[in-house]
């Protein structure tokens, strides 16, 4: 057998624009490029690669979506049958205690938090529809193609990516079905990988795009899709909660969105700057569902799907420089989520669109492989910038002051921004990265979580079966340890190896072998949420793409 480390011979294809990721940002960029070419009576070649087995297979979101970007991109989306069927009818916000719930009056909430006029949807389904619109315009979309490497020109600029490498064994040998992958070259490469993209991470580091910015912050979002009894279903009802079971020091909250057809999307986000390494976000979600506000909605229903995904939370002060020689970062690869609104889709789409407009002008002018600084300026002049600016201090206030102080001052700050266009706090910065926020286990006691009842709450591996996750086992482990000795030598004694708890798919275990602990990685269970890459205290875990098509197979998350 040949070692896969021999330099591979690869076919290559050239495009005007190569886009990595078929989420809302990548697909909106592709559609906008083709629209501009059609308007100009010219053509632009665009390809999109997607690591999921099909478009939408790796998409997990809430989602209550603000249609502002879709209105601009495809104004007649209603006539074209876009899957935005359930308009929000009722908007409720609660602070929870262990057995009670305090509803905050809607009049207290700043207008920007209002969900009326928005739609409760499946983002995976919307992406599938966007992909059909893109293909009708001539965009080439390749699902099952994971982009694993960035290619550079001699001057260091990005010239393309490698995608579609497959058939390498766990020990690195070429198997009979070995595929060296393709080189996909572009005049410009758009990185649209979503939160904590693996190529984005390498590019941000190589081109120092984070210089002068706050560290990016993240949350872990866990979600289940339920079919509930018709009498418990309230189409268009949107509920957000904060507080229990997290307590006042750990940030996070829940969402419960009633979609169409008796479907309810229920999820829980834990801010990854939590300090206690014994915290188990998955178990917090499971016990949350037993709250008296929530359990009656689920009773008699059935869980259809489960999954998890990181969400960017740093906001404006964490947005990196958006361009580099040969390409741009769009959507959550850069991080445009409006945290108090828990909305990033509209900003992901719009940044894809304005990047497309900047790149199209550059290509028209005969440029290639240079820096598209116009995109950065267009972003700063766009409504995305204003959307993020108004809420820029909410997350830092929450991190500094906890639930009560953060809620009060964050709310006050959003009001002054909305009414008078300024903040008394200026722009607050984020301090530590989420990995650095974890404190040694000796400062805490292990948390005794209630056992799941198998009806409303479920154990992790049972739930994982509802994510459709599958990985070819005989392939290199895509969760790379920079130093394999670190988990047992360092992270276990100091932090009680929190990967055992923060991973929502039970990938990491510390097993005892003849009285000696061993760190075990069940890579085939990974749902690609990226939490380990973010939260591992010594930053020893590096998430890279597995073979294309592997991972979760979400139907409509």
Ligand X SMILES: Cc1cc2nc3c(=O)[nH]c(=O)nc-3n(C[C@H](O)[C@H](O)[C@H](O)COP(=O)(O)OP(=O)(O)OC[C@H]3O[C@@H](n4cnc5c(N)ncnc54)[C@H](O)[C@@H]3O)c2cc1C
Binding footprint of ligand X on the chain (CB under 6 A):
20-26, 49-52, 58-65, 123, 146-147, 192-195, 197-199, 221, 223, 267, 269, 309, 311, 331-333, 337, 342-346, 348, 545
- Complete DSSP assignment for 195-244: TT-HHHHHHHHHTTTTTTSPPP-EEEEEEEEEE--GGG--TTEEEEEEET
- Among 258, 528, 537, 547, which residue sits at the site for ligand SF4 (rule: CB under 6 A)? 528
Residue 81 has phi, psi (to 5 degrees) of: 80, 30
Site for ligand SF4 in 423-482 (CB under 6 A): 479
Q: Is 543 in the site for ligand SF4 (CB under 6 A)?
A: yes
Tokens describing residue 146: 């994971």
Picked from ligand SF4, ligand X, none, the partner binding residue 505 (CB below 5 to 8 A depending on kind) is ligand SF4
Picked from ligand SF4, ligand X, none, the partner binding residue 507 (CB below 5 to 8 A depending on kind) is ligand SF4
Query: CB of 472: closest distance to ligand X in angstroms?
Result: 16
Query: CB of 101: closest distance to ligand X in angstroms?
Result: 21
Tokens describing residue 265: 């999307």
Is residue 1 helix, strand or coil? coil
Query: CB of 59: closest distance to ligand X in angstroms?
Result: 5
- Complete DSSP assignment for 502-545: H-TT--EEEEEETTEEEEEE-GGG-----HHHHH-TT--EEE--
**Selected range binding ligand SF4 among 48-56, 299-307, 323-331, 497-505, rule: CB under 6 A:** 497-505
CB 52 within 8 A of CB 545: no
- Among 109, 298, 526, 557, which residue sits at the site for ligand SF4 (rule: CB under 6 A)? 526
* Choice between 189 and 311, CB closer to ligand X: 311
Q: Is 529 in the site for ligand SF4 (CB under 6 A)?
A: yes
Picked from ligand SF4, ligand X, none, the partner binding residue 460 (CB below 5 to 8 A depending on kind) is none
Cα separation, 463 vs 457, whole angstroms: 9
* Choice between 84 and 532, CB closer to ligand SF4: 532
Cα separation, 116 vs 106, whole angstroms: 11
- Among 532, 537, 546, 556, which residue sits at the site for ligand SF4 (rule: CB under 6 A)? 532
Q: How much is the CA Rg of the chain, to the nearest whole Å?
A: 23
Q: Is 341 in the site for ligand SF4 (CB under 6 A)?
A: no
* Choice between 165 and 192, CB closer to ligand X: 192
**Selected range binding ligand SF4 among 25-33, 52-60, 391-399, 522-530, rule: CB under 6 A:** 522-530
Cα 477 versus chain centre, distance = 22
Q: Is 60 in the site for ligand SF4 (CB under 6 A)?
A: no
* Choice between 204 and 486, CB closer to ligand X: 204
CB 162 within 8 A of CB 173: no
Cα separation, 426 vs 154, whole angstroms: 43
Cα separation, 123 vs 162, whole angstroms: 27
Give the catalytic positions in this structure.
61, 309, 345, 503, 526, 529, 532
**Selected range binding ligand SF4 among 22-30, 110-118, 322-330, 498-506, rule: CB under 6 A:** 498-506
Picked from ligand X, ligand SF4, none, the partner binding residue 545 (CB below 5 to 8 A depending on kind) is ligand X
- Among 61, 286, 531, 553, which residue sits at the site for ligand SF4 (rule: CB under 6 A)? 531
* Choice between 26 and 452, CB closer to ligand X: 26
Cα separation, 329 vs 79, whole angstroms: 31
Picked from ligand SF4, ligand X, none, the partner binding residue 256 (CB below 5 to 8 A depending on kind) is none
Picked from ligand SF4, ligand X, none, the partner binding residue 526 (CB below 5 to 8 A depending on kind) is ligand SF4
Site for ligand SF4 in 502-521 (CB under 6 A): 503-505, 507
Closest CA to 292 of 101, 422, 542, 38: 101
Residue 406 has phi, psi (to 5 degrees) of: -65, -40
CB 267 within 8 A of CB 429: no
Instruction: Give the binding-site size for ligand SF4 (rule: CB under 6 A).
Output: 13
Partners of 540 in beta bridges: none
Strands 11-20 and 46-50, sheet pairing: parallel
Closest CA to 153 of 11, 325, 10, 324: 325
CA separation, residue 326 to residues 16, 18, 148, 406 (Å): 11, 11, 17, 40
Picked from ligand SF4, ligand X, none, the partner binding residue 345 (CB below 5 to 8 A depending on kind) is ligand X
Q: Is 258 in the site for ligand SF4 (CB under 6 A)?
A: no
* Those residues with Cβ within 8 angstroms of residue 438's Cβ, 6 or more apart along the chain or in another chain: 274, 275, 277, 495, 498, 535, 537
- Exposure b/e, 72-86, CB count within 10 A at least 16 = b: ebbeebeeeebbbbb
The mark string for 118-147 relative to ligand SF4 (x by CB under 6 A, - otherwise) is: ------------------------------
Picked from ligand X, ligand SF4, none, the partner binding residue 337 (CB below 5 to 8 A depending on kind) is ligand X
Cα separation, 352 vs 260, whole angstroms: 28
Show the CA angle centred on residue 454, arms to residues 450 and 457, nearest 5°.
Answer: 55
Picked from ligand SF4, ligand X, none, the partner binding residue 22 (CB below 5 to 8 A depending on kind) is ligand X
Cis before 63? omega within 30: yes
> What does the binding site for ligand SF4 look like in residue numbers (CB under 6 A)?
479, 503-505, 507, 526-532, 543
């Amino acid at each position: 057998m040949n070692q896969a480390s021999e330099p591979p011979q690869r076919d290559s294809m050239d495009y005007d624009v190569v886009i990595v990721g078929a989420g809302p940002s990548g697909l909106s960029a592709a559609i906008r490029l083709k629209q501009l070419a059609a308007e100009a009576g010219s053509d632009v070649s665009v390809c999109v690669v997607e690591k999921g087995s099909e478009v939408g297979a790796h998409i997990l979101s809430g989602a209550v979506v603000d249609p502002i970007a879709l209105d601009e991109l495809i104004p007649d989306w209603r006539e074209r049958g876009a899957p935005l069927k359930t308009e929000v009818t009722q908007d409720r916000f609660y602070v929870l205690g262990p057995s009670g719930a305090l509803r905050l009056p809607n009049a207290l909430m700043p207008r920007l938090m209002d969900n009326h006029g928005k739609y409760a949807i499946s983002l995976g389904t919307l992406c599938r529809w966007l992909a059909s619109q893109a293909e009708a315009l001539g965009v080439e979309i390749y699902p099952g193609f994971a982009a694993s490497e960035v290619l550079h020109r001699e001057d260091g600029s990005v010239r393309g990516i490698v995608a579609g490498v497959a058939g390498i064994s766990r020990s690195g040998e070429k198997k009979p079905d070995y595929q060296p992958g393709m080189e996909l070259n572009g005049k410009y490469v758009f990185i649209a990988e979503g939160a904590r993209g693996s190529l984005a991470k390498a590019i941000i580091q190589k081109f120092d795009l984070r210089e002068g910015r706050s560290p990016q912050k993240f949350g872990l979002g866990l979600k289940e899709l339920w079919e509930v009894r018709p009498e418990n279903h309230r189409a268009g009802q949107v509920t957000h909660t904060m507080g229990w079971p997290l307590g006042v020091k750990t940030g996070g909250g829940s969402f419960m969105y009633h979609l169409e057809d008796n479907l309810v999307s229920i999820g829980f986000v834990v801010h990854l700057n939590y300090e206690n390494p014994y915290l188990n976000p998955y178990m917090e979600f499971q016990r949350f569902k037993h709250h008296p506000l929530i359990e009656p909605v689920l009773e008699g229903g059935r869980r259809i799907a489960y999954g998890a995904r990181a969400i960017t939370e740093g906001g404006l002060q964490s947005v990196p420089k958006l361009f580099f020689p040969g390409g741009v970062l769009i959507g959550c690869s850069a991080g445009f989520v409006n945290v108090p609104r828990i909305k990033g889709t509209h900003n992901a789409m719009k940044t894809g669109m304005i990047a497309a407009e900047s790149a199209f002008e550059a290509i028209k002018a005969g440029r290639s492989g240079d820096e598209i600084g116009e995109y950065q300026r267009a972003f700063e002049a766009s409504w995305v910038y204003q959307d993020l600016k108004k809420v820029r201090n909410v997350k830092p206030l929450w991190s500094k002051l906890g639930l009560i102080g953060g809620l009060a001052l964050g709310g006050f700050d959003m009001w002054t921004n909305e009414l008078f266009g300024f903040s008394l706090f200026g722009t607050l910065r984020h301090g530590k990265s989420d990995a650095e926020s974890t404190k040694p286990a000796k400062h805490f006691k292990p948390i005794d979580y209630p056992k799941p009842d198998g009806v409303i709450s479920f154990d992790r591996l049972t739930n994982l079966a509802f994510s459709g996750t599958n990985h070819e086992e005989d392939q290199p482990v895509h969760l790379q340890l920079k130093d394999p000795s670190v988990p047992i030598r360092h992270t276990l004694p100091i932090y009680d190896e929190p990967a055992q708890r923060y991973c929502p798919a039970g990938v990491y275990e510390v097993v005892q072998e003849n009285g000696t602990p061993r760190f075990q990685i069940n890579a085939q269970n990974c749902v690609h949420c990226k939490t380990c890459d973010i939260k591992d205290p010594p930053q020893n875990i590096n998430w890279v793409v597995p073979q294309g098509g592997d991972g979760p197979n979400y139907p409509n998350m």
